[in-house]
Chains A and B, each alone.
Chain A
Amino acid sequence: GAVVSQHPSWVICKSGTSVKIECRSLDFQATTMFWYRQFPKQSLMLMATSNEGSKATYEQGVEKDKFLINHASLTLSTLTVTSAHPEDSSFYICSANSQGRGNQPQHFGDGTRLSIL
């Protein structure tokens, strides 16, 4: 079945550091990938939609200069948290539609736990 791989799974770093998270579709091409954020005991909140070869679409309230998204190929999207601060600590999860089609279920990576000291 469709597999989405996310790396790293856990990051601990100092305040002010920039952190890059990778999301790969392993057995299919994904023109669109999604980045979510999840706080403890809360729902997944969509941050942005990553489009291959074009600019990402950000949800209201998400700073595009803070959360840089690059989708340079059909199998890789990256999220960079720039100058991270403790309030950016969260669980970040990416997803992609299987077979790259919008009406197919989204499959998720295993998430990245980001802790900013």
Chain B
Amino acid sequence: EDQVTQSPEALRLQEGESSSLNCSYTVSGLRGLFWYRQDPGKGPEFLFTLYSAGEEKEKERLKATLTKKESFLHITAPKPEDSATYLCAVQARQAGTALIFGKGTTLSVSS
């Protein structure tokens, strides 16, 4: 069964304190892994797509990496505006275009 597990469930950081979020997945043939940011009461906002192990993507203070079993979202020197829930999703080859989401990591950054 295709599955996505994110950890930790919640993370509190001080401004400037770098950390990483984990997304472990099991899927029968990975088509793509996606990271989204979700603010309260809003839909998910697309951040990154990773397609193969070893791939990395960067955007401002965020960097996403991918291995054959997991993905990390590294946050460097976070700011309070980075506070949000970060969602990881996978797309399996045999599932068409449907996404399977993890439960997310809620990040709180205090100044």
- Residues of A whose CB lies within 8 Å of any CB of B are 4, 6, 32, 34, 41-46, 49, 93, 95, 97, 102-103, 105-111, 113
Contact = CB atoms under 8 A, between A and B. Distances in A.
Given A103-B32, A105-B34, A105-B49, A111 B103 contact: no
B96 A108 contact: no
Contact of B41 (A34, A108, A113): A113
B66 to A, nearest CB: 15
A111 B41 contact: yes
B96 A102 contact: yes
- Which among B43, B49, B96, B100 has the greatest number of chain A C-beta atoms within 10 A? B43
B63 interface: no
The 3 A-B residue pairs whose C-beta atoms are closest, nearest first, are A108-B43, A102-B97, A43-B101
Grouping DSSP codes into helix (H, G, I), strand (E, B) and loop, the A interface class, with mixed when no group exceeds half, is: strand
B87 A49 contact: no
Contact of A49 (B31, B45, B96): B96
B78 interface: no
Nearest to B48: A105
Contact of A46 (B32, B45, B98, B102): B98
Given A105-B46, A109-B43, A111-B41, A32 B99 contact: no
Given A49-B96, A103-B97, A108-B45, 19 more contacts: A6-B43, A32-B97, A41-B103, A42-B103, A43-B4, A44-B99, A44-B101, A46-B100, A49-B97, A95-B43, A97-B97, A106-B34, A106-B97, A107-B46, A108-B46, A109-B43, A110-B41, A110-B43, A111-B42
